[in-house]
Structure 1
Amino acid sequence: MKCRFVRSLKGRVLAVLGATILLCWAGALTVLVVYTLRGQSSHWDSKLQAIGTKILMSIPSGRHLKPSFGHSLQLRDDSIPRDVNLTFQVWTERKNLIVRAPDSPPTPLLPAFNDGFTSATIGGERWRVFAVSDSTGEVSVQVAMRHSVIDEEIRHKTFGALGFVTALLGVAGLLMWFAMGKSLQPLTAIQAAVRRRRKFDLTPLPVAQLPSEIRPLVESFNHLLDQLDQAMQGERRFIGDAAHELRTPLSALQAQAQVALRATTLEGKDAALVKLLAVAERSTRLSDQLLDLARMDAGVHAPQKNAADLSELIMHVSQEFDMQAQQQRRSIILALTPCPIECDVDEIGILLRNLLDNALRYTPEGGRVKISCAYREEGGQRRVCLEVADDGPGVPEAEQQAIFRRFHRIAGNGGRGSGIGLSLVAGIAQLHEAAIQTGAGLDGRGFSVRVLFPMPAATGAGPASDGQDVTPAQPA
């Protein structure tokens, strides 16, 4: 419970406010006590001084004063309260008591007869005494007040003032607590609204009523919700598109398997199995592309860039397609220059495979696919250029940017692609800060894709030539 209170913003603020109120209360108590003690002492001293002075000035001068005798006069109304806490004496020549209060002792209140204020113990009680003499020093008046009366009045006023200050600070604390609860009420409302939401409800949270200090936090959270919503929408689209793309090859697999089962001759079964194998290869390629696309969309890891020679990567990937190119009666031509780049080798391998597979797929029998890499001046900057060109039917200029969108196919094209490969190429190029350009293919025909990679920071400029042509695969 204590840990939750400390972690709570409201708890922390209230704790600070409570500590501040306690400190203010302690400071106010100290000031009140000191002020009341000094003020009340001065107040009673002033009263004693005024009474003593009045008594002395009321005594006639120029006469020989004699001690009083007999009983003191009685009040007409005995109900009038008698102040037993205040007493006085009038002395002459410091030895003759001529007048005193009925409850005053016969001995001097202040035996030393020093003028001024003194605290003395008389009859076992503490008194505050004030003594004043005339100009000749012959007549002396002593006035005294019980200290218990002064202390009682000081305590009464101190506790009264302390109670007022305590009540005032308590009201201030309650107002602060109410203001804190009122200020955090929008957050409580947002919390309740979020808890009431259904699953996958990612609409933005309202920020109109929020305090200005909290609004940026909620706006950032809304931005995150928007990104999450976009990611979920993309995931739903991807699942729908992937299911649609897989439906066709799976249906073809089922159909070819049924044809193979129903074939009555060995030649018919072999023909059906060859088609079945071709459909299975296409399904495998499609599933690989879907997995690559899903991994890239999920952003499970950033590209692990290392130094690599693009020409060596091209040589390695092209060897994987040698047998396929020979079976399809197509040629792969390499024109390579050593070009170091900073890249994720696995990602660039996927990019090369998809570019080469796409070119071979849309190139007719006897056609050519040329892969080259060299240095190229682009926009006043030297860059590494990877180009894959073919002499196939080409791509209309209006479609050349659209083909890099996911699951996009050109209407009327005889190829059987899934529309995934070039979208993977675009995504991997973007991760490597590379630009993509399109144009005409070989001999002014066909289609070409150029990927321009930035130069490595620690690599000097290489030769500008296109390299020497190499033809590892020829038509069978």
Structure 2
Amino acid sequence: MTSLRRRLLLWLLPATLLTGILASAATYWGALAELDDLLNDQLKAIARHVVVDADGRLSLKGVHGKDEDRLSGQQSHGVLVQVWRGSTPVFSSDPDSVIPPPRGPGLADVTVNGQLWHTYVSRNGDMLVRVAQVQQARWEAVAEIAVHLFWPVLSLIPVLALFLWFGIGYGLRPLREVVASLKRRDANNMQSIDTEAVPGEVKPLVEALNDLLQRLDEAFTTQKHFIADAAHELRTPIMGLGLQAELLPRATSAEERETIVAQIRTGAARLAHLAEQLLTLARLSPDSQAPISDDVDLTALARSVVSDRARIALANQIDLGFVGTSRVTVTGNADNLRILLNNLVDNAIRYAGAHARVDIIVRQEGSCAMLEVCDTGPGIPEAERARVWERFYRGSDHAASGSGLGLSIVQRIAEQHRARISLENGRDQQGLTVQLRFPATQPDGVNGRLTNDTV
């Protein structure tokens, strides 16, 4: 398991070490530039302290005491002192260091055998006193300074690692508190986590968890209500089937036996329809996987539904037809849209009553596609229209059998397709019109009304 503390430590420690190295390097190059000026001033100061006697003897004041062996320009803390009379050397503190004669007083850089010498020459009577130091010696002096600066940084890494380890642990404590709070909960506790004492960096995570808990709570509540309602609705047809099954062996005549068998078939069909509707509603739940969308021809879909439901409509003495003035295409899932239209047509056939008329209308209205299912039945009272979208609600004035899930399924599919659905009065304020409005492409072609008499 990857540790966030270890990951932060592995990033921060190398970053700190790299920062220390870069700081030491910057100090080295900065000190090198400053040291050049400082050592040039030192060369001038030493040159001024060199005294040449009349007989050519050399004496030094305040330069490395009386130990002239240390006056070597090859050493990091030493300098080379030479006395020249014209081009003739009179004195050299380091005979092994050979430098050409000076050209005149002042600062000068001389390259000898690939080495750069920084020199300063002063005039003392008829003699020239030169103080020199090789560039490599200066670099060694600066390197010693850089090492002295780098070692404290390197030695502080264990201490820094210790502080980072406990500091990161302290910073992650709010996460551990959130984890502990969640572990203490049971499966039914979906209460939001308090975000007042949560740091700003952790707050988005806690808010996302709260949002997830809220959605889970809503999903579990919906599932509980769904299971309870389904169990309630399934109980009646199952009990009816059981009762009819008990009465069947007791039938005393063939006519009574046929009546019971017919009731069993009706109950089984109702139970199968209810189970199918429940499965469809579960498949269309908001948490389910989004269906595959494509261009769907509503005109062709409406014709197909009219053809499929024509015999059922004739059996119920319903005039079922399609009215289309244009070819309308929407983006959606063809199977789900077919389920939507089938449920609307089935509801209209079931509740409109004998000799009623049911029309499927597909048209274009501006940039919106319109799908309407109109009937001339008794309609739905205004007071009940808000409740018909609820699961298992069938209204109080309808004797027709049904599951009460058709419009709930229609509403789910409409939401999937971002369609607005509404219930309106039918033509001449008679019957009911279920209207769906959602974006579509421009129409083309013209069609008339297709009825179950012409299918």
| Aligned-pair CA distance for 1:49 | 1.9
| Aligned-pair CA distance for 1:469 | 5.6
Match of 2:223 among 222, 226, 235: 235
Unmatched 5+ stretches in structure 2: 58-64, 72-80, 110-116
Q: Secondary structure at the match of 1:368?
A: coil
Q: Secondary structure at the match of 2:388?
A: helix
Change (3 A) 1:171 1:49: farther
Q: Secondary structure at the match of 1:402?
A: coil
Distance, in Å, in 2 between the alignment partners of 1:147 and 1:310 is: 92
Change (3 A) 1:86 1:377: closer
Q: Is the 8 A contact 1:40 1:154 kept in 2?
A: no
Change (3 A) 1:164 1:49: farther
Determine if the alignment matches structure 1 residue 14 to structure 2 residue 12. yes
Change (3 A) 1:115 1:304: closer
Pairs within 5 Å for 1:65-80:
none
2:323 equivalent in structure 1: 337
Distance, in Å, in 2 between the alignment partners of 1:348 and 1:472 is: 24
Match of 2:392 among 378, 400, 407: 407
Unmatched 5+ stretches in structure 1: 60-64, 69-80, 120-126
Q: Secondary structure at the match of 1:243?
A: helix
Change (3 A) 1:46 1:429: same
Aligned amino acid, residue 444 of structure 2: G
| Aligned-pair CA distance for 1:348 | 3.5
Determine if the alignment matches structure 1 residue 354 to structure 2 residue 343. yes
| Aligned-pair CA distance for 1:335 | 3.3
| Aligned-pair CA distance for 1:320 | 5.0
Distance, in Å, in 1 between the alignment partners of 2:167 and 2:393 is: 59
| Aligned-pair CA distance for 1:417 | 2.8
1:259 equivalent in structure 2: 247
1:374 equivalent in structure 2: 361
Any idea what the Cα deviations from partners look like across 1:177-216, whole Å, max 9, x if unmatched? 7766655554454455556654475544554455656644
Pair member with larger Rg? 1
Pairs within 5 Å for 1:265-304:
265-297=253-285, 298-302=287-291, 303-304=293-294
Pairs within 5 Å for 1:187-202:
187=175, 189-191=177-179, 193-194=181-182, 198-199=186-187, 202=190
1:448 equivalent in structure 2: 432
Change (3 A) 1:42 1:312: same
1:306 equivalent in structure 2: 296
Distance, in Å, in 1 between the alignment partners of 2:343 and 2:133 is: 110
Q: Is the 8 A contact 2:388 2:407 kept in 1?
A: yes
Change (3 A) 1:251 1:156: same
Q: Is the 8 A contact 2:82 2:131 kept in 1?
A: yes
Q: Name which of structure 1's ranges 86-95 and 31-40 shifts more when overlaid on structure 2.
A: 86-95
Question: Which TM-score applies when normalising by structure 1?
Answer: 0.67
Change (3 A) 1:267 1:468: closer
Q: Is the 8 A contact 2:320 2:359 kept in 1?
A: yes
| Aligned-pair CA distance for 1:91 | 10
Distance, in Å, in 2 between the alignment partners of 1:111 and 1:363 is: 122
| Aligned-pair CA distance for 1:471 | 4.7
Q: Secondary structure at the match of 1:435?
A: strand
| Aligned-pair CA distance for 1:396 | 2.2
Determine if the alignment matches structure 1 residue 318 to structure 2 residue 309. yes
| Aligned-pair CA distance for 1:384 | 3.9
| Aligned-pair CA distance for 1:145 | 10
| Aligned-pair CA distance for 1:397 | 1.6
Change (3 A) 1:265 1:151: closer
Change (3 A) 1:247 1:175: same
Any idea what the Cα deviations from partners look like across 1:415-444, whole Å, max 9, x if unmatched? 443321121122233334253323258x86
Distance, in Å, in 1 between the alignment partners of 2:437 and 2:120 is: 104
Aligned amino acid, residue 353 of structure 1: N
Change (3 A) 1:16 1:409: farther
Aligned amino acid, residue 306 of structure 2: M
2:405 equivalent in structure 1: 420
Q: Name which of structure 1's ranges 294-303 and 207-216 shifts more when overlaid on structure 2.
A: 207-216
Q: Is the 8 A contact 1:404 1:422 kept in 2?
A: yes
Q: Secondary structure at the match of 2:49?
A: helix
Q: Name which of structure 1's ranges 296-305 and 265-274 shifts more when overlaid on structure 2.
A: 296-305
Distance, in Å, in 1 between the alignment partners of 2:416 and 2:138 is: 88
| Aligned-pair CA distance for 1:279 | 0.7
Q: Is the 8 A contact 2:323 2:361 kept in 1?
A: yes
Q: Is the 8 A contact 1:332 1:471 kept in 2?
A: no
Change (3 A) 1:20 1:240: farther
Q: What is the root-mean-square deviation of aligned Cα atoms in Å? A: 5.2
| Aligned-pair CA distance for 1:256 | 0.8
1:78 equivalent in structure 2: none
Q: Secondary structure at the match of 2:356?
A: strand
Question: Which TM-score applies when normalising by structure 2?
Answer: 0.70
Q: Is the 8 A contact 2:328 2:364 kept in 1?
A: no
| Aligned-pair CA distance for 1:316 | 2.0
Q: Secondary structure at the match of 1:407?
A: coil
| Aligned-pair CA distance for 1:345 | 3.8
2:28 equivalent in structure 1: 30
Residue identity over aligned pairs, in percent, reads 25
Distance, in Å, in 2 between the alignment partners of 1:167 and 1:39 is: 31
